[in-house]
Structure 1
Amino acid sequence: MSNEARDLSVRSVERAVAILDLLAQGGWRTGADVARELHVHRSTALRLLGTLERHALVERDQRTARYRLGRRLPQLASVVTGEFDLRYVARPLCERLAAATGETATLDVLTGDVIVPIEQAGPEAVRERLLALPLQRLTPDTVTDRDQLERQLEEARQMGVAHTHEELELGLDAVAAPVFGPDGEVVAALDLSGPSHRLRSGNPTELDRLTRDGAADLSRRLGYRGRRTET
């Protein structure tokens, strides 16, 4: 295969993926809609849609000639989900974050009402469930006022990271960022923790950025593409 033919093949694959991403936003799209969004000729869009339809990756409404995602995608997704190991994906990211900061990086998931660390080197319903739990004082700095906690959650949502300053353990600070799954729901949190004096005297803005970027990278690896849910 010549270099030119190889480039054309790669471009076709990229456009096909772009079509799937577009249809993943929901609703039905015409060939003209797809062509306009991808900045390609309508005949090119229809050819790609036809190929995807033959493989059941998209389906076409015969009456309106509009397209949406096909029935084969859930089947493919179920295979990935069945074999997926969150720890395996998170391990190199935790190691990289720990190496870049010299602090402890941890990935936590919510199991029932308990936060469980699964690797070391949510939706509104989750938020309401957590706020309904007793706010146990662990240190003199633990937040036990629900209004104050809600304000902190809103601030964390706006900033993309949350902080604890000796609220869980004396002498320990941490910064955490949410990890989103393919459907936009929070599935885990990536956090960076270390001695309070070291985290506060270092570069907090850079620690925030590294944690947020690490969580975003993990979210992308999990298949997250859309806008995140409000948490």
Structure 2
Amino acid sequence: MKRFEGKRILITGGTSGMGLAGAKMIVDEGGEVAVTGTSQDHLEEAGAALPSGSLVLRNDASDPQAAKELGAKVKGQMGMIDGVWLNAGFGKFGDNESVDAKMFDGMTNVNVRGPVLQMAELIPVVADGGSVVVTASVSPYLGQPQGAVYAATKGAVTALARSWAADLAGRGIRVNSIAPGPIETNFFDGMGIPDDQVEELTEQIEKQVPLGRFGSADEAAQVALFLLSDQASYVTGSQYVVDGGMTMR
């Protein structure tokens, strides 16, 4: 039996990268999906890649009002859903002197406040016995230069996921997080890194990964989908690291 037969899953940040990879897999395994994004190009890409019955929604996690709109749209167009993957987020690196309120608020609003407000609106729409997955990162464990604010936001969502797991256990809703390392998607987009440094950084990162390469979007999505599926029916409050062994060293 296909894992997502008869299941309805929402993926925020699902119009590109890991999210879109996961959405395609869910559809292939018999499920229905709704995905959100902000980039017009990515919205169009997702619309072309997913079946016509899929919901492709423009929704900005940094906008507090957007969380209410998302909850209302999902309930109105899908009814009760079986799972949520809170995947929307971004990273921007910079030295301490470059950190300002705009940079801090930008990442915090999307990476922390966004999922908090989304959960408040979406949990009433998630059926008892459902599942929530949150995308965190290995960054809090690595102590990366120029990555303090990003790491702090991802450490926050790790803590949130564990608290949500305790809060929702009574309804049988499982909450877990994944912590991706370097994944071949738009890894460097939005980080403020000049193009001429990307190749050098890629080589440096690969040397830190025991498997010697970046992971693929499919590889990361497969872990999230395991946690969303009934195969992980006794897993909650956990974090699964998807980093090729990077944090093992």
TM above 0.5, one fold?
Answer: no
Instruction: Compute the TM-score of the two structures, normalised by the length of structure 2.
Output: 0.24
Instruction: Compute the TM-score of the two structures, normalised by the length of structure 1.
Output: 0.25
Q: Which has the larger radius of gyration?
A: 1
Larger relative contact order (Cα-Cα within 8 Å, sequence gap ≥ 6): 2
